Structure 1
Amino acid sequence: MKIETLIKRTLPRSLLGRSLLILVVPMVLLQVISAFIFYEAHWDKVSKYLARGLAGDVGAMVDLVRDNPTPQGRARAFEISRNRFNMDSNLRIDEILSNSKEIVQGSIPDPFLLLALKERVGLPYHIIAPEGEKHLTIEVQLSDGILAVTALRKRLFSSTTYVFVLWMLGSSLLLFGVAIVFMRNQVRPIRRLAVAADAFGKRQDVERFKPEGAREVRQAAMAFLLMKGRIERQIEQRTHMLAGVSHDLRTPLTRMKLQLAMMGDDEDVKDLSEDIHEMEHMLEGYLAFARGEGGEATSETNLSELIESIVSGLKRKGVAVDYHCEGKIFLQVRPNAFRRCVTNLVENAARYGEHLSVRLGQRHEMIEVTVDDDGPGIPAEKYEEVFKPFFRLDKSRNIQTGGVGLGLSIVRDVVRTHGGDIQLSTSPQGGLRARLRFPV
């Protein structure tokens, strides 16, 4: 499990990163395999051939000097060395190699030269290859002295190494750059689809969204648009139906209210009037929950002033409210829907508690609205159930003791359409704490 967790943390999380990883890993493996094959096959063979060529030229000089030891013969051999082999040669008469090491100074670029000298020369030798110099000298012990041959170091080096490495890296970087551009273009429609889906979930306008990209992405975008159309038609049909129901129910209720008003102040008449008022209140709650605030446009809203106006309204009704705000806080919201959300929350707290505390602040790129009360609270196992439509802790269905059970449902619906969420917990005051959190 630890290895799987480490792999998940190491791997990129985005589609672009994972797609590039799928391209990069085979490319890197290909480069490693190519380099291994090159060095094992091509480079080794070339190095052997170059080393044998230089050792063969040195061996030829040894044979020329030994076959004709006269001054004229040696001069001719040195001339051949200079003109044919591109090497400078000289003979130090009666000198002896003083060191038993083969490499007495510096280093040689390839160890194949040592084997080649043993094969092609077969005599004691020294290699002098000073660091940073373009030449190296090979001293061979002859019977009458030391033959010193100076050659260019590049005779042991193949330029195809640099060409191969540069071509390999250059082509890889070029292909990687093309892959990045291509994958970004392929991922962009997916990001736009995600943004459109998120905006539609928040009831924002997504009319400008159009399917684009690869065939599969276009299919997903078309499916999203079809789903969007079906949901919008369903909401519109529900709204029209509820509007019709509202109109049909309001007419008989109004007639009943007029008839009751003409019947006097009898106790039974008062009871019936209260029932009619309760029916109107319930009907308004049902319609408000079903209708929502989907048609309202979003705007940059000063939450500090908006919540302060709500608190001021509660104070005028005699509710004890402690309001604290950390400066001016602005957020892109639907003002009426947001006002209704916070109003439902604080009025619900005022209904059960005697003292309220409202806090507005920003925490780690999240705007928080916290409402605390000192009421009886809600059992922890009921935190999720109270958000269900028409759910009430008070089973009496009395309007005076808890409304119709839609307040918290409307609150969470509004909060989530703004991309946020609501959390319930126990308040430090002993009652209920409701915390609204919205992303900045």
Structure 2
Amino acid sequence: MKGVIPDTLKARALLLLTLVFVVSHMISIMIYKENRYASVVLTEATDFGQRIMGIVDLAYRFPANQRNDILSAAQTQFLTTYPDIVPIKAVACQQDGASSEISRRIFQPFETRPSYQVDVCVRRFGGVWPLLGQEQKKRVDILVNIHFPDDETASFHAELPEANSLFSDRVIIYLVVVTALALLLAWHLILKLIAPINRLAGAAEKIGVNLDVESLEEVGPRETRVALRAFNEMQVRLQRQLHGQTEMFAAISHDLKSAVTRLQLRCDLLHDEKEREGLQRVVKDMRFMIASIIDFVRGDSTEEPIRRISLGDLLASLCEDLIEESVPIEYHVDQTVHLYCRPMSLRRAIQNLIDNACKHAGSAYVEMQVQAAGVFINIDDQGPGVPESRLEDVLRPFVTVDASRTSTSSGMGLGLAIAHKIILSHGGTLRLTNKPGGGLRAQLYCPFGNPLRS
């Protein structure tokens, strides 16, 4: 069923409307066809009764020995006459409402001729004719026996022609045109109805990378306005919570920096060289911790303007700058692609990944690959890698896996976390994998459908 039912709401709604439209029209055509057939048969039965009465009146004016010639001359493609009656009892006549109405229509012209005795038998009056297919054609077979006042008899047999099929070329073309126009109108209306859902989806992607984007305009039907208002209120609450946490971190960092400065002054006043050196190491560690926390908080900053840049040029420039600083890296960038991003933030994230590789493995190899859906930047090293069970953990703040890397490594475990946050804020992903030949690969992916573009 998953392969039959469409995946999108638009396609499902259109399929449902199509089924309802087609089924309702087919049922309407079946009902109309049945009623039309009955009307045609009753009209033909009335004409048949009047024709028989005309023939009988004409034949009665002639002597009995000449009536057979008159009856023979009155025969047509649908009407057969016999001089002798066919016993009604020998024929399987049908008794139902439709047959009775046909008999009444045939009797009606003879109401002004009470001297004639008329017997009518309706046979093979089928049920509902299939809408398509010709195997069970509905026909009305009628037998009429006439007794003249002079005791002569005559029988009339007719098979009333059926109504023409409704499914002619013109009707089929009409149905196709009407169905196509109805589905086009339905598609237009469906697009207008689900437009608010698309707006919500787009807004959700935007606030995923930038919480301070403009709120949605609350327009449309009442249900749509309620949903948009709830979404805007959620965005405001998220802004309040995130900005409150950022301000709290900034305030704590400021107070800690002031305390560390005072601690440094007291440290400088110590006369004991050994105690002063030990306390200075503590102050240095505290300064490093505070700076790391500030860097991590700054990773959520959206103050930098969004610009369209050449990612290949940015990557090549970063690698050249690091090489000039004697950082042991190699890179390969043979093509470029233009993206909307915060250039300084993205450069910082890539540099963090390179620094992480150089710190734990001694060197790094950087490569950019452009594909149809987006661009990949791979930062490879030849270090010991990371245990498979910890590959996701090391992307979280304050998580380190020093045992799996070199024993000389140090840090608070914020480098990868900062890079991860920056990349997520650009609508991309960061994935760590151990290479089969040894070493770790940090793969940055940024899709071309970046929400920052809109």
C-alpha contact (below 8 Å) 2:400/2:413 kept by paired residues: yes
- Residue 337 of structure 1 deviates from its aligned partner by 1.4
| CA deviations over 1:57-96 (Å, ceiling 9, x no partner) | 8868977997799xxx9xxx9xxx9xxxxx9xxxxxxxxx
* Cα displacement string for residues 346-366 of structure 1 (whole angstroms, at most 9, x for unaligned residues): 110111113321111122312
The 5 A counterparts of 1:177-188 are: 177-188=184-195
Instruction: Report the TM-score when normalising by structure 1.
Output: 0.71
Corresponding residue of 1:42: 35
Contact 2:211 2:239 in 1 (8 A): no
Alignment-mate amino acid for residue 246 of structure 1: S
Is contact 1:307-1:339 (8 Å) kept?
Answer: yes
2:239 is aligned with 1:232: yes
The equivalent of 1:382 in structure 2 is 390
Is contact 1:373–1:429 with CA below 8 Å preserved after alignment?
Answer: no
1:337 and 2:345 correspond:
yes
Instruction: For 1:318 and 1:429, locate their aligned partners in 2 and report how far apart those are by CA, in whole Å.
Output: 26
The residue aligned with 2:22 is 28
1:250-286 Cα shifts (integer Å, max 9, x gaps): 2232233345456689454333323222211111111
Q: What's 2:279 paired with? A: 272
* Separation in structure 2 between the aligned mates of residue 377 and residue 395 of structure 1, nearest angstrom: 10
State how far apart, in whole Å, the 2-side matches of 1:114 and 1:37 are: 19
Q: What residue number does 1:201 align with?
A: 208
Is it true that 1:192 corresponds to 2:186 in the alignment?
A: no
User: C-alpha separation between the residues in 2 aligned to 1:33 and 1:295?
Assistant: 63
Q: Deviations over 1:101-121 (max 9, x none)?
A: xxxxxxx9x9667846x7799
Distance 2:440 2:259 in 1: 40
Change (3 A) 1:309 1:156: closer
| Aligned 8 A contact 1:321 1:355 in 2 | yes
Change (3 A) 1:114 1:122: farther
Distance 2:2 2:157 in 1: 61
Say if 1:306 and 1:369 are closer, same or farther in 2 by CA, change over 3 A: same
SS of aligned partner of 1:242: helix
Residues 1:279 and 1:208: Cα distance change in structure 2 (over 3 Å): same
Instruction: Map 1:359-398 onto structure 2 (within 5 A).
Output: 359-394=367-402
Q: What is the deviation of 1:422?
A: 1.5
The one-letter code of the counterpart of 1:250 is K
- Partners of 2:172 and 2:403 in 1: CA distance: 80
SS in 2 for 1:254: helix
CA deviation string 1:17-40 (max 9, x = no partner): 22333333322221222222233x
- Cα deviation for residue 431 of structure 1 reads 0.8
CA displacement at 1:419 relative to structure 2: 1.5
Aligned 8 A contact 2:144 2:157 in 1? no
Which amino acid is the alignment partner of residue 5 of structure 2?
L
Task: Quote how far apart the aligned CAs of 1:411 are.
Answer: 1.8
3-state SS of 2:364 partner: strand
C-alpha contact 1:47 1:112 (8 A) present in aligned 2: no
Alpha-carbon distance, 1:197 to partner:
1.3
Per the alignment, do residues 426 and 200 of structure 1 end up closer, same or farther by CA in structure 2, a change over 3 Å counting? same
1:222 maps to which residue? 229
Identity among equivalent positions (%) equals 28
Correspondence 1:26-425 to 2 at 5 A: 26-39=20-33, 41-49=34-42, 52=45, 115=141, 157=164, 175-203=182-210, 205-207=212-214, 209-261=216-268, 266-292=273-299, 293-394=301-402, 401-425=409-433
Q: Is the 8 A contact 2:215 2:232 kept in 1?
A: no
- Judge which range, 239-248 or 260-269, deviates more: 260-269
Flag the 1:258–1:201 CA change in 2: closer, same or farther, 3 A.
Answer: same
Give the conservation status (yes or no) of the 8 Å contact 1:360–1:370. Answer: yes
Post-superposition shift, 1:300? 1.0
AA partner of residue 346 (structure 1):
I
**Matched position secondary structure for 1:10:** coil
Letter in 2 for 1:38: Y
* 1:35 alignment partner AA: I
- Which has the larger displacement, 252-261 or 375-384? 252-261
The alignment's TM-score, normalised by the length of structure 2, stands at 0.69
Partner SS, residue 304 of structure 1 = helix
Instruction: Describe the shift of the 1:159–1:283 C-alpha distance in structure 2 as closer, same or farther (beyond 3 A).
Output: closer
Aligned partner of 1:374: which letter?
Q
SS of the counterpart of 1:332?
strand
- TM-aligned CA deviation for residue 13 of structure 1: 2.1
Give the direction of change, closer, same or farther, for the CA distance of 1:160–1:48 in structure 2 (3 Å limit): farther
1:370-390 CA-to-partner distances (Å, cap 9, x unmatched) read 111000100101111112211
Question: Partner of 2:80 in structure 1?
Answer: none
Structure 1 residue runs without a partner (length 5+): 1-6, 82-86, 88-107, 128-152
Q: Which sections of structure 2, spanning at least 5 residues, go unmatched?
A: 77-133, 146-153, 449-454
Name the CA distance, whole Å, in 2 between partners of 1:308 and 1:164.
68
1:355–1:51 distance in 2 versus 1, CA, 3 Å: farther
CA 1:228–1:159 in structure 2 vs 1: closer, same or farther (change >3 Å)?
closer
Q: Structure 1 stretch 370-379 or stretch 386-395: which is displaced more?
A: 386-395
Over 3 Å counting, the alpha-carbon distance change for 1:65 and 1:371 in structure 2 is: farther
**1:97: which partner in 2?**
none
State the alpha-carbon separation in 2 of the partners of residues 247 and 414 from structure 1. 23
The one-letter amino acid paired with 2:293 is Y
* Distance in 2 of aligned mates of 1:26 and 1:17: 14
Across the aligned residues of Structure 1 and Structure 2, the Cα RMSD in angstroms comes to: 4.3
Greater mean alpha carbon deviation, residues 47-56 or residues 305-314: 47-56
CA–CA separation in structure 1 for the residues paired with 2:329 and 2:232: 46
